[in-house]
Amino acid sequence: MCGIVGYTGKAQALSPVLEGLRRLEYRGYDSAGIALVVAPGEALWIEKRAGKLANLEQTLGESVPDSHSGIGHTRWATHGGPTDTNAHPHLDNEGKLALIHNGIIENYVDLRSELEARGHIFTSETDTESVVHLLSDARKSHHGDLAAAMREVCAQLRGSFTLLAIHSDEPGRIVGARRNSPLVVGVGNGENFLASDVSAFIAYTKHALELGQDEVVDITSSSIVVTDLAGTVITPREYEISWDASAAERGGFPHFMLKEIYEQPKSIADTLIGRTAGLDPEITAGIDLTGISKVVIIACGTAYHAGLVGKYAIEKWANIAVEVELASEYRYREPAVDSQTLVIPISQSGETMDTLMAMRYARSHGARVFAVCNTNGSTIPRESDAVLYTHAGPEIAVASTKAFTAQLIAMYLIALHLGRVRGVVTKELSDEIGLELAELPSKVEQILETVEPLRALTRQFKDATSMLFLGRHVGYPTALEGALKLKELAYMHAEGFAGGELKHGPIALIDQGTPVIAVMPPAQSALHEKMASNVMEVKARGAVVIAIGDADLPSAAHNIRIPTSHEFLQPVLAVVPLQVIAYEMAIARGNDVDQPRNLAKSVTVE
């Protein structure tokens, strides 16, 4: 949930560290801080501030000293409120060792009391501060070797962590470690980087190294050494980042979210490229997809909604039972899983702790794991048997948009692939869906070209206290996604319902003027009329209905037209107006679009 960056090299460290923090701020924005090594043996230079990174930047002024190595942190608070004191980095009592952390140290209470008993003085309420004191002691017992100290300390920690540490006695050296939380290495020329994700250093290098579980990395400007906790040297996987720094910039749009909404024609096309006629054998080389008795999709939030749509497609086209599970609930009910279970974790970041833990549970019970992920080098694909990467590019806005539509595409591709492996999908159907998929980018483009009136219409409802979303079939998960987007961005009560479920309770929520968004099944669908009846039911009770569909619904107060598509593919189109409604509502209500309150992009704690 926090953003972490470290730099060592020829440049003034402040610049790449600050640049990294700007690019990582989407991961957490409760406070930010930087520590720099100034001179051997002297106290570190440190500055940290509660609130957004801009608060820290304002305090920096001209006073920052020369330094060629440093670390920076942007925080999503867990232990201790978002204050200056709780902001990272945390220092040891000599002010010479600084540490930043992402994750949760579960045994911090015990550690803290032991350390206090040994005379360490604590200044914050964080779980992290225990680690810096522990590291300080361990470093002394390892005769000043920070990497050896880090290995010893990690072995004593419970929970999840990415840690980066610097010590002023060792200028130019940064030591990091990871367990269940992301950390990548950026390999530069005469300079090296450590960061939560590659966006932090993409402006400097596109060459990265992936770090595994319980690994410690020790970098200087000219060396990178990775070991396990026993000190055995490990050769990390190298990879090239396939996108440019400009992909992680706003590119003239007022917000990342709007840019990402408008990138969807491209991200859908990129995810489809070369895959409609079948998945490349390289993708599925590591997994046996024959003899599967059920599919379990595990995901959170928006990715979960993509999984719900996937269920409709996989059950229909591959004729196999599918369960879709909220990852945070999955492992705690100890579900029955065996080697005939195919688990599909879906994750934009590839680091979502709930999804990772659910997937590990399934794997440890013999399941085969075929991940859908947007982030190369992240933990979920690394721990899966196979991965279908979505090619949405970096998604910076906290609210997921282009990653969602790319995940939908991945679901359709997997459904068709499983159908082919099982010999149940006909060539005609496969060709038909392939053609329909190929048309989606231009259809999304058409929607985006005609979206302006929807923005004006949205503003009419800016003072509504609640908004309801209705859908049937694949329109139901689409409605859930529309409601989630609105909650997240407009801080407005919003709920999605299956149209047929309304009269079993939720219809009591409808009052005079309640805005209801109806995701209409295509006009040719057998469910169109059923949904039209559901619209009449809410209208009769005072709702103002906005219908999204491929034909006008006469009973609706407002109609938002989308192009006609195959019924199963419609969520890719219908969600676009829903994204625009949430975006516009956030602006109309004066909310922060890209960094909504209380949230973080990548949820790396349970």
Report, as residue numbers or ranges, the catalytic residues.
2, 601
Minimum distance between the CB of residue 299 and ligand M6R, rounded to whole angstroms? 6
According to DSSP, the β-strands at 90-91 and 45-50 are unpaired
* Total of chain residues touching ligand M6R, rule CB under 6 A: 16
Q: Closer to ligand M6R at the Cβ: 91 or 399?
A: 399
String marking each residue 286-325 x if it binds ligand M6R according to CB under 6 A: --------------xxxx----------------------
Q: Closer to ligand M6R at the Cβ: 176 or 182?
A: 182
Does 271 participate in binding ligand M6R (rule CB under 6 A)?
no
Cis peptide before 89 (omega within 30 of 0): yes
Minimum distance between the CB of residue 345 and ligand M6R, rounded to whole angstroms? 8
What is the rounded distance in angstroms from the CA atom of residue 471 to the CA atom of residue 424? 28
Closest-CA residue to 56 (of 81, 23, 21): 21
Minimum distance between the CB of residue 141 and ligand M6R, rounded to whole angstroms? 39
String marking each residue 333-372 x if it binds ligand M6R according to CB under 6 A: --------------xxx--x--x-----------------
What is the rounded distance in angstroms from the CA atom of residue 151 to the CA atom of residue 168? 19
Minimum distance between the CB of residue 587 and ligand M6R, rounded to whole angstroms? 17
Contact (CB, 8 A) for 301 and 484:
yes
Minimum distance between the CB of residue 346 and ligand M6R, rounded to whole angstroms? 7
The two counts, helices (H) then strands (E), for the chain are 18, 24
Q: Closer to ligand M6R at the Cβ: 153 or 308?
A: 308
Binds ligand M6R by CB under 6 A, chosen from 260, 488, 567, 584: 488
Contact (CB, 8 A) for 32 and 87:
yes
Q: Closer to ligand M6R at the Cβ: 375 or 514?
A: 375
How far is residue 224 from each of residues 173, 199, 216, 220, 221, measured CA to CA in Å?
A: 10, 20, 10, 7, 8
Quote the tokens at residue 40: 């051997």
Minimum distance between the CB of residue 172 and ligand M6R, rounded to whole angstroms? 34
Where in 164-183 is the site for ligand M6R (CB under 6 A)?
none
Minimum distance between the CB of residue 506 and ligand M6R, rounded to whole angstroms? 22
How far is residue 471 from each of residues 101, 437, 507, 566, measured CA to CA in Å?
A: 42, 21, 14, 16
Contact (CB, 8 A) for 394 and 263:
no
* Rg of the chain, C-alpha, whole Å: 25
Q: Closer to ligand M6R at the Cβ: 181 or 525?
A: 181
What is the rounded distance in angstroms from the CA atom of residue 172 to the CA atom of residue 419? 55
Half-sphere exposure at residue 205, Cβ-oriented, CA atoms within 13 angstroms: 21
Burial 217-226 (b: 16+ CB within 10 A, else e): bbbbbeeeeb
Minimum distance between the CB of residue 521 and ligand M6R, rounded to whole angstroms? 24
Q: Closer to ligand M6R at the Cβ: 276 or 375?
A: 375
Contact (CB, 8 A) for 149 and 163:
no
- Give the largest Cα separation in the chain, rounded: 79
Q: Which position's Cβ is nearest ligand M6R?
A: 301
Where in 381-440 is the site for ligand M6R (CB under 6 A)?
398-400
Contact (CB, 8 A) for 225 and 187:
no
Contact (CB, 8 A) for 32 and 78:
no
Q: Can you state the percent helix, strand and coil of the chain, rounding each to 5?
A: 40, 20, 40
Q: Closer to ligand M6R at the Cβ: 19 or 263?
A: 263
Q: Closer to ligand M6R at the Cβ: 148 or 581?
A: 581
Contact (CB, 8 A) for 173 and 180:
no
- The DSSP bridge partners found for residue 75 are 31
Binds ligand M6R by CB under 6 A, chosen from 317, 603, 604, 605: 603
Contact (CB, 8 A) for 516 and 548:
no
String marking each residue 531-560 x if it binds ligand M6R according to CB under 6 A: ------------------------------
What is the rounded distance in angstroms from the CA atom of residue 44 to the CA atom of residue 108? 24
Minimum distance between the CB of residue 477 and ligand M6R, rounded to whole angstroms? 13
Q: Closer to ligand M6R at the Cβ: 130 or 375?
A: 375
Quote the tokens at residue 148: 């050896």
DSSP string across 165-196: EEETTSTT-EEEEEESS--EEEE-SSEEEEES
Minimum distance between the CB of residue 300 and ligand M6R, rounded to whole angstroms? 4
Q: Closer to ligand M6R at the Cβ: 164 or 359?
A: 359
How far is residue 584 from each of residues 122, 426, 461, 480, 548, measured CA to CA in Å?
A: 45, 42, 10, 18, 17
What is the rounded distance in angstroms from the CA atom of residue 96 to the CA atom of residue 83? 22
Q: Which residues bind ligand M6R (CB under 6 A)?
A: 300-303, 347-349, 352, 355, 398-400, 484, 488, 602-603
